[in-house]
Structure 1
Amino acid sequence: MRKTGKKILSAALVAAMAASVTACGGSAGTADKTTESAKTTETAAKVTEGTSKEESSSAEAGDEPITLSIAWWGGQERNDYTQKLLDLYTSEHPNITFQTSPSGWDGYFDKLATQAAAGAMPDIVQMDYLYISTYANNGSITDLKPYIDDGTIDVANIDPVLYGSGEINGKLAGMVASSSILSFTYNPEVLASAGVKEPAMDWTWAEFIEDCTQIADKTEAFGIETNFTDNINMLNYYVRQRGENLFSDDNKSLGYQDDAILVDYINMISSLVDKGAMPNPDQYAAISALGKESFPVVTGDAGFRNDWSNYATIVEGSNDTLKLVTPPMTEDKTKALWVKPGMFFSIAETSSDEKKKAAAEFIDWFINSEEANDIILAERGTPVSSAIRNYLSESGKLTKKQVEMFSFVDDAVTVCADAPAPDPAGISEISETYQTEIYNVLYGNKTPEKAAADFRTTVNEILERNN
């Protein structure tokens, strides 16, 4: 194992031991934190309830108390400012209080699936493009079109293509809350120390491989810290560059016919791992156990990381020198990238009509109000409202990285094509199969050809069963 890999693994093991100790009382701690957040919101509501009717600008006489449950994933910074948002909303709408369920990404959708199956899904759910089709198709989330039609959710300043990305089978399953683009974050200091030129948006896969190899050869850093296996969007991008789609139009099978596409993709990954330019499965498990702020590209132990366009903003406090570039292109410069909904807000179908209406009003406020976005400050991704983007850009409140992210997205649109349809039901199983088959090759258990063939067989069965 490379020296860098050992250092990362050691740090990860220490983190894992700490997490293990915390886990002994983890569920109680999380519950206490959630309860405390709810109490804080309720306290704000009680204070505001003392305000006279003349002084209350938002509450209407006769408004009945409503408690909305809301779930989201993210780190501590997101948890903290989201609670401030909820407190602010309650101060302006004294009849609305919130029961919160913040969580990390890991396990978020496992918990949500359990809640949905039990009919106990939170009223407002932060939803991802990977899973929105699954929850729409099983009837767990409500159609938001009526709330757009009656003006509850204002979409006047949102590109119809973007907010329409939440439409599944004729129903709007989620309201897009931010946008992002698949990107590569890079550490310019690592590239400079290896004598690698900073890439432009028209760089190619061949140049990417050469850059990663040179970084590994000239430094103790990985060329790229990720191995593509936890983000199937990378495969989707690679397939689209070959003029094909990852999934068929009816979502019942893979959309590409030639397994050579996946074989070439796996061979590229395997070659980079063999060169020490990309982490092997064990090294990547150690890296994944670290917090975002401690990932190798942040600490100078890797040149590149593939992620979304808001990653450099998220870790700006730990390293404000990181830069963004679009993923490598094919030699013929085929446009295959797309503007992706960063996340959605969906409303549970099991919620009462009264709660659905109140939830829709909150979502509109989250997306369109300047005061809400003064707190959010684009942490969840590029705001979907053009009015809010303009407001923030001119406000002077954005950090350097946030300004760079807005500029990057504007530039990256020039190499984007139409967005693919939302991922089909069963995407979680498909993503697991994707990683499993690539790891089978990296562990020497299968040839790339066998892995590609088995991926097709398994994924087609998953798609047929779920769609």
Structure 2
Amino acid sequence: MRKTGKRLMAAALAAVMAASVTACGSSGGTAGQTTETTKAAGETATTAGEKKQESGSEEEPITLSIAWWGGQERNEYTQKLLELYTSEHPNITFQTSPSGWDGYFDKLATQAAAGAMPDIVQMDYLYITTYANNGSVADLKPYIDNGTIDVTNIDPVLYGSGEINGKLAGMVLSSSLLAFTYNPEVLASAGVEEPNADWTWDDFIADCTQIAEKTDAYGMETNLSDNINVLNYYVRQRGEQLFSDDNKSLGYKDDAVFVDFVNMIASLVEKGAMPNPDQYAAIMAMGKESFPVVTGGAGFRNDWSNYATIVEGSNDTLKLVTPPMTADKTKALWVKPGMFFSIAETSADAKKQAAAEFINWFINSEEANDIILAERGTPVSSAVRSYLADSGKLTKKQIEMFDFVDDAVSVCADAPAPDPAGVSEISETYQTEIYNVLYGNKTPEKAAADFRTMVNEILERNN
């Protein structure tokens, strides 16, 4: 049973959830907002990493529509970024559609179906295959071939992560890794030693259990149900892959791997070391800056490697560690594209060219990255990373994020193929089946079998 303090915390969280409308993938996004940057006169400037480009002609006015998800901070600096670009390219203005994560891809799917997708869209690895396969996004290879997008300082494996069926469906903007963020003060209060890259799942279970027993905090504030990449990692540690090569079925053969994974979760929830589904829904309603790992109500959180940077303003003591390993130390982690910019296939040729020029500026120019400051993840350009590291402009957490990514390479393997079409539906099924076990509606064995049946049907239907 959970201690009284935890029950009170859960009740308080539930009250917050009832009053909150915060999207779980963002903190303060402004869904549906549309603005246009003001044109500014001025000469076209060139900076390091930027070549002078022409969009048709210098006088041709072009308005590019652009959509992204994120919190208020991202919205504000992206607007500044676009205004700077317009000041240097007076014929280019932007029509913007910032949004929170929740609902972003629902809206984008509607726009794509109507042939009205924005010229530039921030794209996630979960969905890029779907938009490539349905012909919604343009091939960016021609813009690399003609020199518009400079990939000289980008690892080919990383920018090639956006290639789907021979088409470069998106230009990668940043990289990230699965990471466990932890609160060192919570660990210290429970007498738990801070983990390193060699820790195992047994260590993780013992640490979470000890935190729950010795403090009034959760060991792990998530129940590993809202990021299917964690299951992918768990499967890869056993020498298999989550999806088959042809994306028609699950790639692992024995349901025991899913059963073991869910049993671990259920055991920790039963001990009060992880939140149950209702408690976790209340946590997610609070927003990233108020999650228990930030406020001292949890020891660990699984997220991406930029999480500690995002919440640095609320707690600058959080640290990162790679996810737990198996006892045999199998390398299964991978460097994941943080996000992409894709260009709509329906955009006019002049707009596609102008969009490609902007993307090149975004990823390669020092002045753009002086504004971005790695908020979207670790920059893909090695030249930009070096510039920022030496600039003195990064915060402590941003520097730690760069170091974490560099150090984690030692435990990384080759990246899996881009997620297949239908993965968003698969992710929902993944959480549903875990919750069925946690609510007592199914045994882990039944949930594993049903997950296989439903996922295979989804994959067959979409691929």
TM-score range (shorter-chain normalised) is: over 0.9
Of 69, 75, 80, which residue of structure 2 is paired with 1:73? 69
Q: Which amino acid aligns with 1:96?
A: I
What is the CA distance between 1:6 and its match in structure 2? 3.6
The runs of at least 4 aligned residues of structure 1 exceeding 2 Å deviation read 1-20, 55-63
Q: Which of these residues, 161, 166, 170, is aligned with residue 162 of structure 2?
A: 166
* Correspondence for 1:10: 12
Aligned partner (choices 432, 451, 459) of residue 428 of structure 2: 432
1-structure distance, mates of 2:402, 2:14: 33
2:7 and 2:163 map into 1 onto residues whose CA distance is: 43
> Is 1:132 matched up with 2:128?
yes
In the aligned structure 1, how far is the partner of 2:44 from the partner of 2:167?
A: 36
Aligned position for 1:419: 415
1:375 to 368, 371, 375: 371
The whole-number CA distance in structure 2 between the counterparts of 1:262 and 1:386 is 38
- For the 8 Å contact 2:13–2:279, the answer to whether it is kept is no
Deviation by residue 1:123-177 (Cα, 9 ceiling, x = unmatched)? 1010011110011111111100000000000000000000000000000000000
The TM-score, its normalising length taken from structure 2, stands at 0.94
Question: Which residue of structure 1 lines up, in the alignment, with residue 290 of structure 2?
Answer: 294
**Count, aligned residues:** 448
Q: Report Cα offsets for 1:328-366 as digits up to 9, x if no partner.
A: 000000000000000011011111111111110000000
Secondary structure at the aligned position of 1:359 is classed as helix
Does the CA-based 8 Å contact 1:147-1:360 persist in structure 2?
Answer: yes
The equivalent of 2:203 in structure 1 is 207
Q: Is the 8 A contact 2:20 2:286 kept in 1?
A: no
Unmatched tracts of structure 2, length 5 or more: 23-27, 46-51
Q: Which amino acid aligns with 1:249?
A: D
Q: For residues 435 and 169 of structure 1, do their structure 2 counterparts lie closer, same or farther at Cα, with a shift above 3 Å needed? A: same
* Contact persistence 2:212–2:272 (CA under 8 A): yes
Q: How many angstroms apart in 1 are the aligned matches of 2:14 and 2:360?
A: 40
Q: CA deviation at 1:230?
A: 0.6
CA contact 2:201–2:326 (8 Å) conserved in 1: yes
Q: Name the CA shift for 1:59/1:443 in 2 (closer, same or farther; >3 Å).
A: closer
The match for 1:23 is none
CA deviation after TM superposition for structure 1 residue 34, in Å:
2.4
2:25 maps to what in 1? none
SS in 2 for 1:19: coil
Aligned residue in 2 for 1:34: 34
Question: 1:398 is matched with which residue?
Answer: 394
* Identity fraction in percent: 81
Question: Aligned residue for 2:240?
Answer: 244
SS at match of 2:160: helix
Paired residues of 1:59 and 1:93 also in contact (CA < 8 A): no
* Pairing of 1:234-273 with structure 2 (within 5 A): 234-273=230-269
Please list, as runs of the form range in 1=range in 2, the aligned pairs for 1:443-462 lying within 5 A after superposition: 443-462=439-458
Q: For the Cα contact (< 8 Å) 1:70–1:123, is it kept in 2?
A: yes
Is the 2:130–2:421 Cα contact (8 Å) retained in structure 1? Answer: yes
Q: Shift of residue 10 of structure 1?
A: 2.3
Could you say what secondary structure the match of 2:34 adopts? helix
Q: Are the structure 2 counterparts of residues 384 and 318 from structure 1 closer, same or farther at C-alpha, using a change threshold of 3 Å?
A: same
Q: CA deviation at 1:290?
A: 1.0
Q: Tell me which protein shows more helix as a share of its residues.
A: 1
Match of residue 346, structure 2, among 341, 347, 350: 350
C-alpha offsets along residues 203-259 of structure 1, whole Å, 9 cap, x if unaligned? Answer: 000000000000000001000001111100000000000000000000000000000
Distance 1:99 1:242, change over 3 A: same
Q: Hey, what's the Cα distance between the residues in 1 that align with 2:78 and 2:373?
A: 11
| Root-mean-square deviation (Å) | 1.7
Q: What are the superposed Cα offsets for residues 80-136 of structure 1, whole Å, 9 maximum, x if unpaired?
A: 101010000000001111111111111111111111111111110100111100111
Question: Tell me, what secondary structure is at the counterpart of 1:70?
Answer: strand
* 1:296-375 pair list within 5 angstroms: 296-375=292-371
